[in-house]
């Protein structure tokens, strides 16, 4: 398909906007899952700060 046209620009925009939504939703899902890591345990921030 010829890229340097207005039609391609519109198609590019629609696909890009849609995929951006999908991918950022994926990041949202990752963020939603992050609290489950807290089940692994807690980090002692004081000892971490003293660690260097």
Partner 1 sequence: MFFDEMLHFFGQMASQTGLAQFWWGNVLMIAVGVSMILLAVIKKYEPLLLVGIGFSCIISNVPGSDLTLPGGLFHYAYEGVQLLILPPLIFFGVGAMTDFGPMIANPKLVILGAAAHLGIFVALIGAKLLGFTIYEAGAIGIIGGADGPMAIFMTMKLAPHLLPQISVAAYSYMALMPLIQPPVMRLLTTKRERQIRMKQMRTVSRVERIAFPIVIGIVVNLLLPPVAPLITMLMLGNLFKEVLVTERLAKAAANEVMNVVIVILTIAIGSTMGADKFLTGSTIEIIGLGLVAFVFGTGSGVIGAKIMNLFLEEKINPLLGSAGIASVPIAARVAHVVALQDDPENFLIYHAMGPNLAGVFGTALSGGIMLALLQ
Residues that bind partner 1 (CB under 8 A): 3-6, 8-10, 12-17, 19-21, 23-32, 34-35, 37-38, 40-43, 45, 48-49, 51-52
- Beta-carbon-side half-sphere exposure of residue 43 (alpha carbons within 13 Å): 8
- In whole angstroms, the minimum distance from the beta carbon of 7 to partner 1 comes to 9
- In whole angstroms, the minimum distance from the beta carbon of 49 to partner 1 comes to 5
Q: Are 37 and 31 in contact (CB under 8 A)?
A: no
- In whole angstroms, the minimum distance from the beta carbon of 21 to partner 1 comes to 5
| Positions of E strands within the chain | none
Copy the structure tokens of residue 38. 């807290």
């Amino acid at each position: 398909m010829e890229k340097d046209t207005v039609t391609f620009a519109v198609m590019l925009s629609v696909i890009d906007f849609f995929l951006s939504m999908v991918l950022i939703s994926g990041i949202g899902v990752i963020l939603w899952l992050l609290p489950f890591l807290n089940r692994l345990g807690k980090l002692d921030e004081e000892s971490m700060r003293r660690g260097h």
